[in-house]
Structure 1
């Protein structure tokens, strides 16, 4: 009970700290719609040039795909968590956790959940407005079982993104500035997570290779489930691979934390 109360306090504190930046979140959410507008015009031109369908997508299905990418990104993508964790390590703030009965990973997960909850609450209105504007393109799943499977995949997508960010921040134990590595990794994520285009429009051999990497399971795979682009055996294999990557990321994050602490030196009062 004391442990639960401890992390409930952390959750409440995280909400309060995040609420200070509520207008930043709202403005960021609004300006994230600008690329969506550009995406609509680009794909409209492509469909007018290529025909009614591209790789099995109609124009409406393609726009609905990007709407769902926007929604999933708002729900599960961490906001500057790696920078905050790296700052804790670089500035010696983790000393506060080493001397107390607080698991740092559990602490950061609690902060992540509180920030996601508040961020989603603040930005849900503009996101809902965008969905209403494009409501003619929305197609709900034919099977009701798609929804719980999507939610499971969505939770794992959030866990995977957070754990990758956490493990990346652990590099601050070894190097002073992690920004270059972060930007390199995020470049791969941007292209391979499905933000730019649905991954299944690529050749089958390349698509199959990409689906062995963790990046598609951060955004593309949950959206593919909700749009019922993956079914049957392919769906269950994908969920297994996604769960495996979450486990690998968790074990990697734990290992990097322990390895980092062995070389960590706290200097000063």
Structure 2
């Protein structure tokens, strides 16, 4: 079924779309305050969840033992420390965990109640995600900053312009994660394996994003292949920028890639939602 494109002959549709967008934007400050308060109620659980992400620390110990005999490629011991400690922080800033809630609500019919709210359910999930970032930064940032300060060797580009670029790239990476995971969650309209799809996505992303192994240490052929995927953009891109390892042209290409993949992810979510909600309502959920 073709969707009509708003034209001057359809001003009402365009005005309705703009009004809906304006209403959503006006609601975000309130949603962020609500979900920030809710996040503070579960700060202990969040701390335990943060401490459970030990994969980078394990890999750091492995690489440090290897680096004792000399640099590995362009990485020495100090570079490995800076890389993996920064990876822990950036992972906390970009990680999204909404797949289970979305999958449960669709399969059990809980989505019906959410559809009665004034905004699209996606806005509530996005606001909850955004509201959790400051607390995670406060819990993870200071100990990592202290470790980087005390350990000799890590080199980070902490110039103001680079920190602003890293912040922008990290925010874009979080949005990429959010919309791709939301798209995976929406497959629950058709299958009970949405969470299994996410586990496959997470495994590939852990390897392809540089979370487990720095991409610079992978074979050149694999590096070239990964550049055509969104995986390096959700972690490796802001991480290597923070380490000062990216030339200006690579930074520009990275932001362009994030923008293109984000547009694709948003379009995919819109398509899956439109098709899935018809199926959901048809079955009277």
User: In 1, Cα distance between the equivalents of 2:243 and 2:145?
Assistant: 18
User: In 1, Cα distance between the equivalents of 2:177 and 2:118?
Assistant: 26
The partner residue of 1:210 within 218, 226, 237 is: 226
Give the alignment of 1:38-187 within 5 angstroms: 38-49=58-69, 51=70, 53-78=71-96, 80-134=97-151, 136-141=152-157, 144-187=160-203
User: In 2, Cα distance between the equivalents of 1:66 and 1:193?
Assistant: 13
**Cα gap change, 1:17 to 1:267, in 2 (>3 Å):** farther
* CA deviation after TM superposition for structure 1 residue 83, in Å: 0.8
- Contact 1:212/1:241 (8 A) holds in 2: no
TM-score of the aligned structures, taking structure 2 as reference length:
0.83
Q: Secondary structure at the match of 2:272?
A: helix
User: In 2, Cα distance between the equivalents of 1:233 and 1:126?
Assistant: 33
* CA deviation after TM superposition for structure 1 residue 109, in Å: 1.0
* CA deviation after TM superposition for structure 1 residue 212, in Å: 1.3
User: In 2, Cα distance between the equivalents of 1:170 and 1:258?
Assistant: 10
User: In 1, Cα distance between the equivalents of 2:137 and 2:159?
Assistant: 26
The partner residue of 1:27 within 42, 48, 53 is: 48
Q: Secondary structure at the match of 2:253?
A: helix
* CA deviation after TM superposition for structure 1 residue 176, in Å: 2.4
**Cα gap change, 1:3 to 1:192, in 2 (>3 Å):** closer
* CA deviation after TM superposition for structure 1 residue 5, in Å: 5.2
Greater displacement, 180-189 / 141-150: 141-150
Structure 1 gaps of 5+ residues are none
User: In 1, Cα distance between the equivalents of 2:68 and 2:25?
Assistant: 56
Greater displacement, 37-46 / 108-117: 37-46
TM-score of the aligned structures, taking structure 1 as reference length:
0.88
- Contact 2:182/2:269 (8 A) holds in 1: yes
Asked whether 1:17 is paired with 2:50, we answer no
**Cα gap change, 1:27 to 1:130, in 2 (>3 Å):** farther
User: What residue in structure 1 maps to residue 14 of structure 2?
Assistant: none
Give the 4+ runs in structure 1 shifted more than 4 A: 1-5
Asked whether 1:247 is paired with 2:263, we answer yes
User: In 2, Cα distance between the equivalents of 1:230 and 1:64?
Assistant: 15
- Contact 2:57/2:84 (8 A) holds in 1: no
- Contact 1:29/1:126 (8 A) holds in 2: no
**Cα gap change, 1:88 to 1:8, in 2 (>3 Å):** farther
User: In 1, Cα distance between the equivalents of 2:260 and 2:275?
Assistant: 22
**Cα gap change, 1:121 to 1:141, in 2 (>3 Å):** closer
User: In 2, Cα distance between the equivalents of 1:205 and 1:170?
Assistant: 33
Structure 2 gaps of 5+ residues are 1-21
Q: Secondary structure at the match of 1:141?
A: coil
Q: Secondary structure at the match of 1:154?
A: helix
User: What residue in structure 2 maps to residue 238 of structure 1?
Assistant: 254
How many equivalent pairs are there?
Answer: 263
User: In 2, Cα distance between the equivalents of 1:190 and 1:228?
Assistant: 22
